Amino acid sequence: MNILLTSVGRRSYLVDYFLEAVLDTDQIHCCNSEYTTSVARGDGYFLSPLIYSPDYVDSIIRYCKERDITAVLSLFDIDLLVLSKNEQKFKNNGIELILAPYESVYLCNDKWKTFEFLKEVGLKTPRTYLSVGDALQAIESSELEYPLVIKPRWGMASMGLYFADNENELKVLFEKSKKDVFSSYLKYESELTKESSIIIQEKLIGAEYGVDVVNTLDSEYFETLAKQKVTMRAGE
């Protein structure tokens, strides 16, 4: 199996993991919208259009067909929505996306939808609000208290993430987070919910754990890996 890793960025260590894991007869190819040392570490690479370019998906499919690549895996959250939306197009060209279905990707990338889903299935989740007014009303009714977390609804890598200890900070940092969003690559997905692009959440204090659920390519459960987060850098 030859695999294409998309949006590799500067994640050379992830490219190396794949190179070490595959058989000698397999190849790992990379693509990115700009040249980095990571993109050239694989067995082949190309520079792709930007993720939201009209030719982005077609450029990946063309490269895969030229190099006998049968599977595509993204290393970047922003990539997932675009790729999963075109899953059938990849299948029609004999290419498998190692990726969740579009509906699941959308639900996980949209933090408000995630909050609603967790409530619906009965899992505890931080209280979450879409506006400063709603958060202030919750504070007034003693449903919520400072400090509060302010972050992009479609965020990643800790971009636009702030903590507010009072009403003045809440109002200022809410607008600051919005400005951060629409002056970065987060603006593309945030356009889907432009009028409610920032969320406010209660801050939970305690040990933080990450849980990875691993499935087979046939969507069958395989394993769960849990780990305590010791430190975070740019969301990793």
Mean pLDDT confidence for 78-93: 94
In the predicted structure, residue 178 carries a pLDDT above the cut 70: yes
CATH architecture classification, 3-105: 3-Layer(aba) Sandwich (3.40)
Confidence category of residue 233, pLDDT binned at 50, 70, 90: confident
What radius of gyration, in Å, describes the C-alpha atoms of the chain? 20
3-105 and 110-202 share one fold: no
DSSP result, the chain: --EEEE--TT-HHHHHHHHHHS-TT--EEEEESS--TTTTSSSEEEEPPPTTSTTHHHHHHHHHHHTT--EEEESSHHHHHHHHHTHHHHHHTT-EE-S--HHHHHHHH-HHHHHHHHHHTT-----EESSHHHHHHHHHTTS--SSEEEEETT--TTTT-EEESSHHHHHHHHHHHHHHHTTSTTHHHHGGGGGG-EEEEEPP-S--EEEEEEE-TTS-EEEEEEEE----STT-
Mean pLDDT confidence for 85-113: 94
What is the spatial distance between Cα 231 and Cα 49, in angstroms, rounded to a whole number?
A: 33
Mean pLDDT confidence for 162-173: 97
Confidence category of residue 185, pLDDT binned at 50, 70, 90: confident
Q: How confident is the prediction for the chain on average, in pLDDT?
A: 93
Q: Which CATH class is domain 110-202?
A: alpha beta
107-131 pLDDT, tens digit each: 999 999 999 999 999 999 999 999 9
pTM of the model: 0.86
How far from 159 is each of 34, 57, 85, 120, 204, CA to CA, in Å?
21, 26, 24, 28, 19
Predicted pLDDT of residue 156: 84
Each domain of the chain, given as residue ranges in start order, spans 3-105, 110-202
